[in-house]
Amino acid sequence: MVEIDEIAYISNYPGSPGGVRGSKLEAPTESCYDIKTKRTLEPNNNPTNNDDDSDNDSDNDSDHAQGCDSLIEQMEIDTNENPDQNDTDPDFLWGYARLLTHTKQQLVQYHKFKETDSVEFVITVPAMWKRWACRRMQNALREANHRSEFVRETSARIEHIHIVSEPEAAAARVLASQRDIQPGDTFMILDAGGGTVDAITYKLKDTEPLRMEREAVRPKGVLCGSSYLNEHFEQLLRERLEGETYLNIDTGDLTKSISIDGIIDSLVIDFENQDKRNVDITDSNFSGQDVFVYGLRPNKDKNFVYNRMRLNRQVFRSFLL
């Protein structure tokens, strides 16, 4: 059995706010890729474009993605009538394979992973997922493993691919770290994540080994995770900055030019890593917060002052509630 302190977080993703081997123990909720360019990942781990345009830099697609599809939404909303057929979007597989490639690199570099090691996968999925969606996720993992060569068939093997609901995984984590809940007790897990929010009740049958049974109340999950707050904040910024074209500065050098889209992208990242985690709209003393936008000109109607967009408490409540 793997103990809690033996679990290592795979981090060091491009753009991670914690930096190299940062202290933030989390991984991205969403994978983004360029939806305008179809890509595949060949067995040698080199991403290739299926388009004739060879000028696209695939290594930078996480920073310059023209669109973003949530893995959670794709697997949940897809209502294919034949879920057993292997027709997963190739872009989805490409992103999944890159995720495995990065994970393997980190395991080799920091955790002495060897090609001969056996591998056991545990996939956590929202409680709202149907069985066919879980089967498609399993099939996608097998195909992504083949493309990324995370486990080479000639040197090691995948022992098991387990599917566990996210609330069940959260319950196991809680029960492993405290002893307040005893056999026979019923408890509820509210798993508020980046994509979905799941609620489920369990009755603890035994602690050694850990055994739980679901209550009669049907598990419920909805697509209202914290990533949607980012989308609402982004929409707010686009509405406020509409018409402020003077913020676009073309220097002739793409690496030094400034655009409203780039400003918004940067502000959304700051919101994710700072404001969203610290702003408490239930605090009666919270009156609002300024958002720094270099070059912003005063506008009384929009509540702009030099270099700052002022967002009062009511504005924060409008997209955080």
DSSP secondary structure letters along 239-280: HHHTT-GGG-B--S-TTT-B-HHHHHHHHHHHIIIIIHHH--
pLDDT of residue 25: 55
pLDDT of residue 16: 60
Distance CA 69, CA 91 (A): 10
Phi then psi for residue 160, to 5 deg, are: -150, 155
Phi then psi for residue 145, to 5 deg, are: -60, -40
Helix ranges, 81-188 (H)? 90-111, 131-148, 166-177
Distance CA 321, CA 281 (A): 9
Among residues 258, 294, 271, 233, the alpha carbon closest in space to that of 309 is found at 294
Coil, strand or helix: which one is 134?
helix
DSSP string, 55-78: ---GGGTTTS-S----HHHHHHH-
Angle at 236 between CA 233 and CA 238, to 5 degrees: 110
pLDDT of residue 235: 95
pLDDT of residue 63: 35
Contact predicate 257/249, CB 8 Å: yes
pTM over 0.85: no
Distance CA 11, CA 2 (A): 20
Among residues 90, 86, 110, the alpha carbon closest in space to that of 98 is found at 90
pLDDT of residue 303: 95
Domain ranges across the chain: 4-164, 168-222, 227-320
Distance CA 215, CA 184 (A): 12
pLDDT of residue 48: 39
Q: Please, what sign has the CA dihedral across residues 125, 12, 2, 180? A: negative
User: What residue ranges of the chain have pLDDT lower than 50?
Assistant: 19-23, 35-85, 155
pLDDT of residue 18: 52
> Tens of pLDDT along 268-320?
989 988 888 888 999 999 999 999 999 999 999 999 999 999 999 999 998 88
The count of C-alpha atoms lying within 13 angstroms of the C-alpha of 228, restricted to the half-sphere facing its C-beta, is 15
Which distant-in-sequence residues (6+ apart) come within 8 Å of 118 by Cβ?
156, 157, 158, 159
Distance CA 290, CA 300 (A): 14
Q: Which residue has the tokens 């794709």?
A: 74
